[in-house]
């Protein structure tokens, strides 16, 4: 059982997703996947035609 | 418009929205991948997206110089309304972004009242918007971003319907479309729009499929570069 656990842990390590690539000015803004509150849309793509300020914030 | 982005629990966000009286959209993300994608290292942190879906600025929202704010405003299709209830009709046209008709109305009034500062200012704002749009389209053409150029010329035709500027924009758009150098880029941009639409509907699998097709078929285009960036971000390359 221990061995299976180890194999599973190793597999998880190997198949870990690659590092996220950071966007730069000029790139198409990546979609903001998630649940949108107070909004008629839940995608950034639907806001084409408008200028959007993305404000990354925390309640703390 | 503003979109707040946070990965905190729903309950916490709802409480905060109520307490602060927040009235703009808040996107609740999962984990930290979206933050990382946007290079967020601390809070607050911001990014500005132009009407064509492109990032034009990233950084600390507290540290934007005035000159840059003005540059960013110039990217919008923002025209202020006239601060006088006598001009409701023109303001309505401005709000509907029917700048062609707004200009026609302004010209009519200016014939009788040439010195009216409110009217000349409004005309200047609308003329300025047209000038900026045409400059942006020219710059996009120069840099080989033909998809963007065509999108801007199409906007000019919509906003300035019925004017000489709209006719000129139509001719310019046709010229770009006929340019052999633009052929692959525009074909790729057409496909790209389908991928973007899939993204818009939250169908990321379909988007990835379309983007992969672009990378394969039009590898030398700007669209392929963007498609590749998406695929790398989603770990599907």
Find residue A37's DSSP bridge partners: B26
Q: If you average pLDDT over every residue of chain A, what do you get?
A: 77
Q: Do A54 and B5 touch (CB under 8 A)?
A: yes
Do B130 and B172 fall within a single domain? Answer: yes
Residue B42 CA to residue B19 CA, distance in Å, equals 23
Establish if B80 belongs to a structural domain. no
Report the residue of A24, A28, A38 to disrupt the B interface, i.e. the one with the largest count of B CBs within 10 Å.
A28
DSSP, collapsed to helix, strand or coil, labels residue A53 as: strand
The structure tokens listed for B29 are 């993300």
* ipTM metric: 0.75
For chain A positions 40-59, those within 8 Å of chain B (CB to CB) are 41-59
Ranges of residues in chain B with a pLDDT under 50 are: 237
pLDDT score recorded for residue A30: 86
Establish if B161 belongs to a structural domain. yes
Partner B contacted by A26 (CB < 8 A): yes
Q: Do A45 and B53 touch (CB under 8 A)?
A: yes
Q: What is the DSSP string of A2-16?
A: HHHHHHHHHHHHHTP
| Cβ–Cβ under 8 Å, residues A44 and B29 | no
Establish if B100 belongs to a structural domain. yes
Give the count of domains, chain B.
3
Do B67 and B138 fall within a single domain? Answer: no
In sequence order, the 6+-apart residues with CB closer than 8 A to the CB of B84 are B118
pLDDT score recorded for residue B27: 95
DSSP, collapsed to helix, strand or coil, labels residue B2 as: strand
Establish if B27 belongs to a structural domain. yes
Partner B contacted by A2 (CB < 8 A): no
pTM, full prediction: 0.78
Assign residue B163 the CATH number of its domain.
1.25.40
Sign of CA dihedral B224, B226, B229, B233: negative
Q: Check whether A12 has a pLDDT greater than 60.
A: no
Provide the residue range defining the domain that includes B11: 2-73
The number of residues making up chain A comes to 60
pLDDT score recorded for residue A2: 60
Sign of CA dihedral B223, A23, B46, A17: positive
Establish if B79 belongs to a structural domain. no
Strand ordering across the sheet containing A35-37: A35-37, B26-28, B2-6, A52-56, B45-49, B55-59
In sequence order, the 6+-apart residues with CB closer than 8 A to the CB of A41 are A47, B25
Establish if B78 belongs to a structural domain. no
More confident residue, A1 or B54: B54
């Amino acid at each position: 059982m221990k061995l299976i656990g180890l194999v599973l842990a190793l597999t998880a390590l190997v198949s870990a997703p690659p590092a996220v690539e950071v966007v730069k000015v000029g790139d198409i803004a990546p979609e903001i996947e998630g649940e949108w509150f107070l909004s008629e849309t839940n995608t950034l793509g639907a806001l084409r035609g408008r200028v959007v300020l993305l404000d990354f914030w925390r309640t703390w | 418009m503003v979109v707040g982005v946070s990965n905190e629990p729903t309950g916490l966000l709802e409480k905060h929205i109520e307490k602060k009286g927040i009235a703009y959209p808040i996107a609740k993300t999962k984990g930290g991948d979206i933050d990382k994608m946007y290079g967020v290292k601390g809070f607050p942190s911001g990014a500005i997206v132009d009407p064509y879906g492109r990032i034009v600025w990233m950084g600390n929202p507290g540290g934007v110089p005035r000159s840059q704010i003005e540059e960013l405003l110039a990217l919008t299709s923002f025209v202020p309304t006239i601060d006088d209830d006598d001009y409701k009709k023109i303001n309505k046209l401005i709000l509907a972004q029917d700048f062609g008709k707004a200009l026609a109305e302004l010209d009519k009034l200016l014939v009788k009242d040439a010195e009216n500062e409110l009217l000349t200012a409004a005309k200047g704002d609308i003329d300025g918007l047209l000038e900026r749009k045409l400059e942006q389209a020219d710059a996009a053409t120069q840099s080989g971003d033909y998809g963007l150029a065509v999108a801007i010329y199409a906007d000019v035709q919509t906003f300035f319907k019925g004017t000489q500027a709209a006719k000129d924009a139509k001719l310019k758009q046709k010229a770009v479309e006929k340019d052999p150098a633009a052929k692959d880029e525009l074909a790729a941009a057409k496909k790209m729009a389908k991928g973007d639409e899939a993204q818009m509907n939250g169908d990321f699998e379909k988007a990835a499929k379309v983007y992969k097709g672009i990378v394969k078929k039009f590898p030398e285009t700007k669209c392929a570069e963007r498609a590749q960036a998406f695929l790398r971000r989603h770990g599907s390359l």
